[in-house]
Amino acid sequence: MDEKLTKHGMFSWFELQTTDVAAAKKFYAGLFGWKTEEMSMPGMEYTVVSVGGEESGGMTTMPPQAKGTPPFWGIYVSVNDVDATVKQAQQLGGAVVVPPMDIPKVGRFAVIKDPQGAMLSVITYVKM
């Protein structure tokens, strides 16, 4: 990952959670020419999306706790410290949707909701 994408406040990753990853890969590859590659992740299947040889996002099957939610694209914003950012979001009137947790060999992330209800993920990447 380009180091500039790990700077605090930078949009850094885009992720589709869907009910049909195979159909999504076919659609987006046909629409945008995206290349996809399967990545081994503990407890889940994950597809990495690349554009021009640069990884920019991923696709995964929606988790059971999202049952009833339509497929959606989520965004990740890089932060210096996920736990501190979650605490600050709460102080500013936001809410925690998914508490901070680690993604092995990737980083630590959480999902927050702003006071208007918009959600996004925040992440601190492991230094490579």
Summarize pLDDT for 84-93 with one digit per residue, the tens.
999 999 999 9
CATH topology of domain 14-73: 2,3-Dihydroxybiphenyl 1,2-Dioxygenase; domain 1 (3.10.180)
Alpha carbon 16 to chain centroid, angstroms: 8
DSSP structure class, residue 65: G
Whether the pLDDT of residue 41 is over 90: the answer is no
Summarize pLDDT for 50-60 with one digit per residue, the tens.
999 999 999 99
pTM for this predicted structure: 0.86
Confidence at residue 1, expressed as pLDDT on a 0 to 100 scale: 74
Whether the pLDDT of residue 128 is over 80: the answer is no
What phi, psi does 29 have (nearest 5°)? -65, -40
CATH of 79-128, one of 3.80.30.20, 3.40.190.10, 3.10.180.10, 3.40.109.10: 3.10.180.10
Summarize pLDDT for 24-33 with one digit per residue, the tens.
999 999 999 9
